[in-house]
Amino acid sequence: MIGVLLQVVNNDEVVNESVVSTLFGRIQYDVESLISKALGLADDILVTISASQVLRDVGEHEAFTDLLKLVKYLVSEFVMTLSVGSYVNGLASEISELMSKKLRFSSVDEDVLRDFLIELIYLRERIAEGSASCRDVDALVRMMSHVFGIDIRGSRVLKRILKSCNPGLALQAGLLSLILFVGGIDGVNYV
Distance CA 150, CA 140 (A): 12
> What residue ranges of the chain have pLDDT lower than 50?
1-27, 188-191
CA distances from residue 134 to 117, 157, 165, 170, 173 in whole angstroms, order as listed: 19, 16, 5, 10, 15
List helix spans (H) across 58-166. Answer: 61-82, 91-98, 110-129, 134-148, 156-164
Within a 10 A sphere around the Cβ of 46, how many other Cβ atoms? 17
Q: Tell me if 66 is assigned to some domain.
A: yes
Q: Tell me if 6 is assigned to some domain.
A: no
Q: Tell me if 9 is assigned to some domain.
A: no
Domain count of the fold of the chain? 1
The pLDDT of residue 50 is: 93
Q: Tell me if 85 is assigned to some domain.
A: yes
Q: Tell me if 7 is assigned to some domain.
A: no
Please give the residue range of the domain that contains residue 113: 16-189
Q: Tell me if 8 is assigned to some domain.
A: no
Q: Tell me if 70 is assigned to some domain.
A: yes
Q: Which long-range contacts (CB under 8 A, 24 or more apart) does 185-189 make?
A: 185/72, 185/73, 185/75, 185/76, 185/79, 186/72, 186/76
pLDDT tens profile 25-49: 444 558 889 999 999 999 999 999 9
Report which residue type is found at 134.
Answer: C
Q: Tell me if 4 is assigned to some domain.
A: no
Distance CA 157, CA 163 (A): 10
Distance CA 32, CA 14 (A): 27
The pLDDT of residue 17 is: 40
The pLDDT of residue 187 is: 57
Distance CA 133, CA 26 (A): 24
